[in-house]
């Protein structure tokens, strides 16, 4: 029976029933009762009961149209499909796409985090500075050339198949202390401004050529007893300096010279230390040897 036929039958029954009720309960009761029945019949015509739980909660098949429809209690309120199967098929497809998008976003985010982490982990390494290079190709690197140039006496060489490549003995003044060195194996070549300190102040953004120049700059490398170099390590001028004032002033002068040349930050504390040392011009201009 169609909705219209059922509604007509129900109305006829109610008219007959109302005559009986009116005589007993009055017009107000009848009006209220009739309104409830009309609503009940209209609701019934909307189709069977709705689904109570799950993805399609508050959705059902409409009897009048045959379509699958969702009510206001559903996240898909107002949506209709030809059938329940069509609704499930579409929602499953949406779910797969959403998961795919989420996985792609997560993958991209993880990739970016990995790249950022790799960049942050790129800390100082001495290998970033190409040092002890052989500029003229004569088998003597920066260390050997410096030992030859700054020796106060003729140098001797260790025997090698390549020739006179490695300095063995000479006479050198220690840069930091009042000491003379005569064996090359007692010597370290030290960077006045440590490579790590330069790295922390911006050398990490220099190109390889500039880092190489810094590591081999004659004004930034000095001769010292290896035991003093091991004490100094990568310490700054605020953490380590020679005991003697003359040597400390010479060190300060070179420190500032190198920093200014390579545009490295000179801190207020460093300038304050210079004032405390009270270095005069004659001290600052002492030869590097």
pLDDT (tens digit, 9 = 90+) per residue, 164-183? 999 999 999 999 999 999 99
Average pLDDT over the chain reads 79
Q: Which of 46-55, 108-117, 248-257, 278-287 has the highest mean pLDDT?
A: 248-257
The pLDDT assigned to 118 comes to 46
Backbone dihedral region for residue 105 (phi beyond 0: left; psi -120 to 50: alpha; all else: beta): alpha
**Range from 12-16, 62-66, 76-80, 260-264 that averages highest in pLDDT:** 260-264
Q: Look at residue 288 in the predicted model and tell me its pLDDT.
A: 46
Backbone CA torsion sign across 32, 37, 38, 42: positive
| pLDDT of residue 21 exceeding 60 | no
Average pLDDT over residues 223-235: 96
- Residue ranges covered by each domain of the chain: 127-284
Is-contact 252 277, C-beta < 8 A? yes
pLDDT at residue 92 is higher than 90: no
User: Where residue 76 falls among pLDDT bands split at 50, 70, 90?
Assistant: confident
Angle of helix 245-261 versus helix 268-277 axis, rounded to 10:
150
Share of the chain above pLDDT 70, in %: 68
Evaluate if residue 74 carries a pLDDT over 80: no
């Amino acid at each position: 029976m169609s909705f219209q036929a059922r509604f007509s039958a129900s109305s006829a029954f109610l008219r007959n029933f109302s005559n009986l009720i009116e005589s007993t309960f009055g017009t107000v009761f009848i009006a209220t009762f009739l309104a409830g029945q009309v609503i009940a019949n209209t609701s019934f015509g909307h189709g069977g009961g709705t689904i109570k739980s799950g993805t399609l909660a508050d959705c059902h098949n409409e009897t009048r149209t045959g379509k699958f429809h969702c009510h206001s209690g559903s996240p898909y309120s107002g949506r209709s499909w030809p059938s329940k199967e069509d609704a499930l098929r579409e929602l499953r497809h949406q779910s797969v796409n959403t998961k795919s998008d989420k996985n792609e976003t997560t993958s991209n985010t993880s990739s970016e985090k990995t790249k950022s982490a790799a960049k942050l982990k790129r800390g100082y390494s001495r290998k970033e500075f190409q040092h002890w290079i052989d500029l003229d190709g004569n088998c003597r690197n920066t260390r050997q050339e410096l030992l030859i140039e700054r020796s106060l006496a003729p140098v001797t060489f260790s025997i090698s198949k390549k020739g006179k490549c490695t300095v063995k003995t000479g006479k050198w003044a220690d840069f930091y202390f009042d000491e003379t060195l005569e064996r090359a194996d007692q010597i370290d070549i030290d960077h006045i401004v440590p490579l790590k300190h330069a790295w922390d102040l911006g050398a990490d953004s220099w190109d390889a050529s500039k880092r190489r120049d810094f590591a081999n700059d004659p004004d930034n490398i000095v001769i010292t007893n290896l035991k003093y170099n091991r004490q100094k390590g990568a310490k700054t001028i605020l953490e380590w300096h020679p005991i003697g004032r003359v040597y400390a002033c010479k060190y300060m002068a070179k420190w500032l010279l190198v920093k200014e040349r390579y545009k490295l930050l000179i801190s207020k504390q460093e300038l304050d230390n210079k004032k405390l040392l009270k270095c005069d011009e004659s001290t600052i201009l002492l030869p590097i040897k």
